[in-house]
Amino acid sequence: MASLDIDQVRSSFPALKSGYLFGDNAGGSQTLQSVIDRITDYLSNTNVQLGADYLVSVQSTQRVADGAVAAAQLFNAASSDEVAMGPSSTMLFENLARALENEIQAGDELIITGEHEANNGGWKRLAVRRGAIVKVWHATPTDPNNPYSVSLKVEELLPLISNKTRVIAFTACSNILGSVVPVEEIVKAARQHAKEQGVKKLEISVDCVAYGPHRRIDVQKWDIDYCVFAFYKLYGAHHSALYVRSPALKFSLTSLAHHFLQVDDKPYKVQPGGPGYELVYSATAVPAYLLSLTPANDLQASFDAIARHEQTLIKPLITFLTDPKQEAQGVRIVGQSKIDLSRVPTVSFVVVGPKSVKSKDIVAVFDKRGGIGIRYGHFYAYTLVSGLEPKLDAGDGVVRISFVHYNTVEEVEKVVEILEEILA
């Protein structure tokens, strides 16, 4: 099994040359130099409107098409015709919900999770417009010794499914809990249970924004209808991609595009207007970079190598936070404390009890020292954080420290050293 060449990895990200320790990667990764180069190249040489017959427009059109191919590769979609682009995951989910408007009837049920609002808000607004019913699949406790150790469980999802269920929307990885959800297993169980309940049409949407930087997305293997990831979390520029399975694109969605355009089976249905041509072209650098990480030149092999390296990043931080001394101080991990492939190196915690410390005060120490970036808050997973028991102040939220494969064990240990001083 190939391992990552961390020196080579870090040399691909110009921001890392500053020596700054980026520990807020779940909020946005650093950008590849090759992505930056493509943006510059596009704007310098092919910045014209698409679809014309003159040479530069032909080149520009092909570059933008190549960007959709790159996104399809990262989704493992059957075709780039199943990929739409947009400025953010929030906007793409909103577009998707609006395009489904004619499909959703009064009394239909939409099942969502309490995770990032990007994959919740659009469905909730759709339910209000159409008189549908929203059900929430809540994360529930997994550790009797830590009430904040919660996760999504399939046995909590299945009772929510009835003969009126129309959409199930959940996350493949929590941006707070850091836990990896077994998507294929959940979808298989949900579809079988829906069939037993007499559901005529069930569509499944998966938010892969927090999953994409750490694990291989496979929409075909998962048997899902919709999926979103963000390039700005996956080492690219600030834009996102939406997967729509071909039958859903053709038969479920109503076009958001101009009325005179024939887009029945094209992703332009949910991509009104230009998607940011230079950003779409820059996406071609992301799979190229990932493929370069191992000799196998295979995305699965690259993500396997990323996952192995990231396990070394998880260990020092979780080992410290779960030490009996820290637990006696009131330190509680929000999520599971396992050090294995069931989680990514996004670690959230709180300090509660008689010796409680506000999350913002912990982060303030890091900010004062400088050179390290971490954050506190609810990170748009407001429903999850505000629903934890015992109650937390959602405004103060949790301390979140999130690493990716370009981080080093030495950086993690530096963060742990500062935490030791704060919590001594």
Model confidence pLDDT, tens digit, residues 338-362: 999 999 999 999 999 988 999 999 9
Residues 202 and 62 in one domain: yes
Output the pTM of the full model: 0.97
CATH at residue 310: 3.90.1150.10
pLDDT surpassing 90 at residue 206: yes
- 371-414, pLDDT tens digit by residue? 999 999 999 999 999 999 999 999 999 999 999 999 999 999 99
Q: Which of 45-59, 233-247, 254-268, 269-283 has the lowest mean pLDDT?
A: 254-268
Q: Are residues 21 and 76 in the same domain?
A: no
User: Is the per-residue pLDDT at 86 higher than 90?
Assistant: yes
| Cα angle 39-265-207, degrees, rounded to a multiple of 5 | 60
Better-predicted residue by pLDDT, 161 or 265? 161
pLDDT band at residue 321 using 50, 70 and 90 as cut-offs: very high
* DSSP calls for 380-417: T-HHHHHT-SS---TTTBEEEEE--TT--HHHHHHHHH
Phi, psi for residue 311 in degrees, rounded to 5: -65, -35
Do 19 and 106 sit in the same domain of this protein?
A: no
Match 């992505």 to its residue by tokens.
35
Regarding whether 302 and 408 lie in a shared domain, the answer is: yes
Q: How many Cβ atoms are within 10 Å of 133's Cβ, its own excluded?
A: 15
Average pLDDT estimate for 54-81: 98
Chain Cα centroid distance, residue 100: 22
**Total of domains in the chain:** 2
Identify whether 38 is part of a domain. Answer: no
274/354 same-domain check: no
Q: Which domain holds residue 398?
A: 6-30+297-422
| pLDDT beyond 90 at 274 | no
User: Is the pLDDT reported for residue 1 higher than 80?
Assistant: no
Whether 114 shows a pLDDT value over 80: the answer reads: yes
Q: State the CATH number of the domain containing residue 67.
A: 3.40.640.10
